[in-house]
Amino acid sequence: MTRVPTTRGGPVDQRAYAAPAETARVPAQSRSGETRLEAVVREAGGHPAGTSAVRGEHTHGERPVPQPRPAVQRASVRGQILDALRTALMGGELLPGEVYSAPVLGERFGVSATPVREAMQQLALEGAVEVVPNRGFRVVERGARELAELAEVRALIEVPVMMRLARSVPAERWAALRPLAEESVRAAATGCRATYAEADRAFHRAVLGLAGNEQLVQIAEDLRRRAVPLRGARAEMMSDAAEHTALLEALVARDLEAVRALVAGHFADAW
């Protein structure tokens, strides 16, 4: 016979004994050759069948996806799903023009549709996806003109900042960033767009971070996210990464003309 806990004032509120909140599962590392989403699918645990039709969203023949397996706390599940979706967008795993429903994406990550829907709504605010009523979210397709405009805006913001930093930051500070530049070269050599996107982001964030202006860093990252998907060819990523190394060498040498040309060219080639 099960005893109900009591206090002097009567039975204890049974809600105090509720089961722990749901956990999402995002892998710490992926296996060689896997995409980020494939790693999530491999590492996370799935939901029971029949959970995909939520809030009127329909899958409309979307392909079934493998059931995921675990590793995250519910309190931070929305943020982790948001990071995973951003990585998938940067890596081209979520394709421009395609519609994805929150329930089906939830099955990939082993969570309910709610945190996925919340994360996708944030991406909609950032301009990465758009809401398709009763279906889900469509990944935004950006044409050559829009990508060129985004690259121009980035250049208008970052080139003056880079020139100021080139004149004021000591050579040893620039030299300390060489490991990040070298990591971007290694990432490009893998041919994995998601892996390169993360290394490229880390390098640019570290460089702009020397300005001591977090708002600048956030704005630059927002513009960069809106300029996805990145070009996919391995040779193009290798060329892009090589510019990181060349830029650091010019900064260490205080070659301002070379810095200006490399930074301007980097953005001109970004689309």
Residue 4 forms part of a structural domain: no
Residues 119 and 167 in one domain: no
**Spatial contact of 230 and 177, defined as CB atoms under 8 Å apart:** no
What does the pLDDT read at residue 164? 95
User: How many residues are recorded in the chain?
Assistant: 271
Alpha helices in the chain (DSSP H): 36-43, 77-90, 102-109, 113-125, 144-168, 171-175, 178-190, 193-209, 214-226, 234-252, 256-268
Check whether residue 133 and residue 190 sit in a common domain: no
- The reported pLDDT for the residue numbered 265 is 82
Co-location of 179 and 98 in the same domain: no
- Domain boundary residue, one of 139, 156, 184: 139
Predicted local confidence at residue 269, as pLDDT: 63
Global confidence as pTM: 0.63
The mean per-residue pLDDT over the stretch 69-90 comes to 74
Q: Which residue range(s) make up the domain with 67?
A: 20-139
Could you write out the DSSP letters of every residue in 84-139?
Answer: HHHHHHHTTSS-TT-EE-HHHHHHHHTS-HHHHHHHHHHHHHTTSEEEETTTEEEE
Residues 70 and 127 in one domain: yes
Domain boundary among 88, 116, 139: 139
In a domain, 8, yes or no: no
Q: Are 175 and 169 in contact (CB under 8 A)?
A: no
- Angle at alpha carbon of residue 231, lines to 229 and 237, rounded to 5°: 130
The one-letter code for the residue type at 5 is P
CATH code: domain of residue 132: 1.10.10.10
* Among the ranges given (181-190, 195-204, 210-219, 261-270), the one the predictor scored with the smallest mean pLDDT: 261-270
**Mind listing the pLDDT tens digit for each residue in 229-265?**
445 578 888 998 999 999 999 999 999 999 989 988 8
| Residues β-bridged to residue 187 | none
Closest to 268 (Cα-Cα) out of 227, 221, 219: 227
Using the 3D structure, point to which of 139, 174, 199 is the last residue of a domain.
139
Write the CA distances from 177 to 76, 173, 251, integer angstroms.
Answer: 30, 7, 11
Q: Are residues 155 and 121 in the same domain?
A: no
Q: Report if residue 104 sits inside a domain.
A: yes
Query: Is there a single domain that holds both residue 110 and residue 198?
Result: no
Residues whose CB falls within 8 Å of the CB of residue 211, separated by 6 or more in sequence, listed in order = 161, 164, 165, 217
Whichever domain contains 213, its CATH number is 1.20.120.530
Give CA torsion, residues 193, 195, 197, 200, to 10 deg: -130
Asked whether residue 77 falls in the same domain as residue 156, the answer is no
Domain count along the chain: 2
